[in-house]
Amino acid sequence: MIRFIDREEELETLEMDNKNSENAFVVVYGRRRIGKTRLLEEFFKNKNVIKYIAEDVNKKIQINEIKEIFSHYLKDEFLASQDISEWGTFFSYLSKVLDKNNRIYIWIDEFSYLVKNDKSLTSVLQKFIDAFLRESKLFFVVSGSLFGLMKEDVLANSSPLYGRRTRDILLRQIPANYIHYFFNMKFQDVMQNILTII
């Protein structure tokens, strides 16, 4: 695995939220290949997280995939056997079976693919956060790469999720002066090699 570089501030922020917050709804966003997944893998290391990586497929497939992950984690044969076609049904069920009194970590990566295929998901999550998360010890993280969609449908004040997030983190490009860490070389040596290639 690539060494973890330059995201110490963001990682420390997440760890402080985990330590000091009763519950959390965290949004991590930024352009593709910027390091969102790597940051969250580092944060969730040694934590028992329920992780779902969404794909850009139809809603029914997405719900079925996440249902399988949760039913396996919860050892819930009833959930596994159900034919669920709406996000409202899925999150309503979760609110009945998740333990409010235990710290549970949920991470949905590429969350923007879910919203892209069903805009009503933000309203469903609003209800889930208001009715369950705020009364629980749940640490819920969503991350996404479709920058415009995340800004407009998740973070904007017109979104049903506005005011629900406890933290949002915009990941930007790693500064050039960190490049030498990738090569285990001094920065001057890296620059000299780059100039030689040019």
Residues 15-32: tens digit of each pLDDT: 999 999 999 999 999 888
CA distance 11 to 2: 16
In which band, very low, low, confident or very high, does the pLDDT at 176 lie, cut at 50, 70 and 90? very low
Record the pTM. 0.83
User: Higher pLDDT residue, 68 or 2?
Assistant: 68
Residue 41 is encoded by which pair of tokens? 């893998």
For the beta carbon of residue 145, count every other beta carbon within 10 angstroms: 19
Q: Where is pLDDT greater, at 105 or 194?
A: 105
List helix spans (H) across 4-120.
8-20, 36-44, 59-74, 77-81, 87-97, 111-117
pLDDT band at 194 (very low <50, low <70, confident <90, very high): very low
Model confidence pLDDT, tens digit, residues 90-148 = 999 999 999 999 999 999 999 999 999 999 999 999 999 999 999 999 999 999 887 67
Q: Where are the domains of the chain?
A: 8-54+98-173
Give the model confidence (pLDDT) of 25-77 as tens digits.
999 998 886 778 989 999 999 999 999 999 999 999 999 999 999 999 999 99
Q: How confident is the model at residue 6 (pLDDT cuts 50, 70, 90)?
A: low
Q: Is the pLDDT of residue 3 over 50?
A: no
Question: CATH classification of 8-54+98-173, choosing from 3.40.50.300, 3.90.190.20, 3.30.930.10, 3.40.50.970?
Answer: 3.40.50.300
- What does each C-alpha distance from 116 to 29, 38, 65, 125, 158 come to in angstroms? 15, 23, 17, 14, 16
Paired sense of beta strands 138-144 and 167-170, if any: unpaired
